[in-house]
Structure formats: structure tokens, C-alpha cells
Amino acid sequence: MTFLPQLVKENPFVRWDHFGFPRNPKDIGGSRLEHCYIRNCTDIFEGREHRLDKGIIYYGACVEAAGEILIIELGPGDRKKTKELLYKVSRIDKITLIRYVAVDFNKPILNDVQRLEGISSKIKLYCLWGSFDDALEFIQTWEYGTVKIYVWSFGSTLSNDLESVVSERFRKWSAVGELLIGQDGKQSREEMEAVYKSPAVTELLDYGIRAANQLAGREVFCETCEKLYEFSDSEVRISITRLDGKPIVIFVAFKYDKDKMRDIAQQAGCDISSIWQSESSRITFPVGTNTLNSFGADSDINVDTHAYHSNDPALTHIPSLSP
């Protein structure tokens, strides 16, 4: 396992205020609360069949690749899904080396990725602690691989304007990548409400709040605080308020149909060349390439810069990702 340069000294969020959040919406307590939530809710929300669907579709997107490939996943979340992805891709004979980079602002999730070390001699794992914009800057310095595959799960994000986030990420990723993969959840509103309001999820959220306070070494969240659930046909979000009054949105899931996804992508300058769909029809992946060709003025892309320049990022290490 190689730890890539720590690009941000404190909280790795960049420009989230652009989407209506106070700057740095998550501190160590909020980040760990989400980690607890993701780690414990995976089987409730998805189950083995859904994870296998993801792995199969990722495999399908890679099947035409050959030689060395680079897979960068923004927000790996459940490592069981990542394990399925890497295992399937490693079995493609034409692929000789897979460099997989997990990017997340949540250190415990990256620590989980470390446990995948050794699943195949073809795979080299890397961890980058940072945000979406950190990842964007990083991939422009990386010269490894003949095919670049950027995975961003549309399953959850932090924003008060989800469509703006999707559009921006289509625009930025596609301007530097040859292949863009996204996830579109297929649960109905009724299914989402039933799952999120279940006693099991409430219990896990309460446990997560206690764990976050414990790990932070202070009371960041009131253990009896009200949880705000918001549902619509395409979105669900759960938010709580810290003791200092700052809102924390800890989970957002949403879904768009194929036509909606194509419209957003095209407006962002990305052509959708194909759409993969799982047999269960619960998830779809649009695959596309950019039509802007560069970070020109017309593309309206403003990449935050950090003091990081290296000819060989794989040789740079950070000492530890321990909490």
C-alpha cells in the first residue's frame, strides 16, 4: 500500500461553500460519523446482489482495456464493492497492471482500503486523503497507464444542490479523462423511505453519534438531537445539527433516469457514449468522454491549486492515516 501526498493539512474540503454549505461542513466528528454509518449500513441498503452488480458493471467498462490502467475512485465507501471491482478487472488477461487510487476525505475509509492489499499480483493500491478537487489536480500529474478510468459513485454526496454537483463533476472529470463512470441508484421513493426510517438505521445513527463523540474526545453532537429526513422522487438526505449549531448532512442518495443523466452530461460538455445497466436494473452507469478537450475559458473550470509537484507521485509517502 502506498500513501500518496497529503495535499491538505487540515480539512480537505475545497469550495463547498459554492454549494450552499458553510466552509468545512465536516470536521473529524462528522467524518467519522459518516464512516460508522457507511460501514454498518451497507448490508441494509444494498446487500450482496447489489454489490455484485457494481462489480460486474465496472468490469464491463474495463473489458476493452489493455496494458496498464489507472482506476481512480472518488469515495470508495464499502470496500466489499471495491474488492469485487478489483478482483474482476484483475482477471482480464489483456490488462497487465492495475493502479487503483482510492480518494476520500475520510481517513478510516482509506484505512479499510488497505485491507485489500494482496488480492492480486496485478494490482497496486494507493490512498489519497483529499477532496474531489484534490483528486482532479492529482490525476493531471499521473502519467501511469494507457487507459484512465475515473469512478465516482452518484450514490451519495454533500450538497444542497445535487444537480450542480453532478454537472460540475461531469465537466471536470471528462476534461481530463478518457472514460467517465457514474452510478445512478434505482430505488423508488417508497423503498428509500422504508429503509432510512427503519429502526435498524435509527439505531445505527444513534450509535454513530456516540462513536463520533467518543472518537473526537468531546461532545460534538447531542446524543438526543433530532435527525431531519428529507425525501423526494429523486433525493433522500439525513441531516443533524452539531452542538455549535452547524448542520451536518451525513448521507444523501439520489437517482436520475437515463435521459436526465444525458442532459446533465451534455450541458457539462460530456458525450455519453454508452450506458451500462445491471440485470436487476437497480443501477446504471453512463460512460462518456469530454467534448471540451481542454480546461479552456469556455469550460468555466476553476481548479484549486495546492503546493504539490512531483514527477513520480508513487514514490512519495505520508507516514500514517491513523486517526
DSSP states of 76-96: ---HHHHHHHHHHHHT-TTEE
**Whether 165 and 274 share a structural domain:** yes
Per residue in 207-239, pLDDT (tens digit) is 767 766 776 677 777 777 777 777 766 666 677
**Whether 166 and 239 share a structural domain:** no
Of 47 and 21, more confident: 47
Asked if residue 157 belongs to a domain, the reply is: yes
**Whether 80 and 149 share a structural domain:** yes
Q: Of 70-79, 102-111, 120-129, 169-178, give the lowest mean pLDDT range.
A: 169-178
pLDDT category at 247 given cuts 50, 70, 90 is low
- Inform me whether the pLDDT recorded for 278 exceeds 80: no
- Average pLDDT of the residues in 11-19: 32
Collapsing DSSP to helix, strand or coil, 115 comes out as coil
Spatial neighbors of 7 by CB under 8 A, at least 6 apart, are 128, 129, 130, 134, 137, 138, 306, 308
**Whether 145 and 174 share a structural domain:** yes
- Inform me whether the pLDDT recorded for 23 exceeds 50: no
Asked if residue 99 belongs to a domain, the reply is: yes
**Whether 206 and 100 share a structural domain:** no
Asked if residue 213 belongs to a domain, the reply is: yes
Q: What is the model's pLDDT at position 320? A: 27
**Whether 212 and 262 share a structural domain:** no
**Whether 91 and 228 share a structural domain:** no
pLDDT category at 174 given cuts 50, 70, 90 is low
**Whether 201 and 175 share a structural domain:** no
Q: What is the model's pLDDT at position 4? A: 42
Q: What is the model's pLDDT at position 198? A: 74
Asked if residue 221 belongs to a domain, the reply is: yes
Tally of structural domains, the chain: 2
Per residue in 117-149, pLDDT (tens digit) is 888 888 888 887 766 666 667 666 666 555 566
- Average pLDDT of the residues in 161-184: 62
Asked if residue 135 belongs to a domain, the reply is: yes
Q: What is the model's pLDDT at position 6? A: 38
Spatial neighbors of 245 by CB under 8 A, at least 6 apart, are none
DSSP states of 11-40: ----SGGGGTPPSS---HHHHHHHHHHHHH
**Whether 119 and 194 share a structural domain:** no
**Whether 110 and 79 share a structural domain:** yes
Asked if residue 300 belongs to a domain, the reply is: no
Domain membership of residue 228 as a residue range: 189-253
**Whether 171 and 216 share a structural domain:** no
Q: Of 85-89, 98-102, 205-209, 270-274, give the lowest mean pLDDT range.
A: 270-274
**Whether 151 and 135 share a structural domain:** yes
Asked if residue 210 belongs to a domain, the reply is: yes
Mean pLDDT of the chain: 59
CATH code for the domain in which residue 122 is found = 3.40.50.150
Asked if residue 162 belongs to a domain, the reply is: yes
Of 52 and 269, more confident: 269
CA distance 246 to 244: 6
Q: What is the model's pLDDT at position 49? A: 44
Tell the residue number behind the cell numbers 481512480, with chain if given: 72
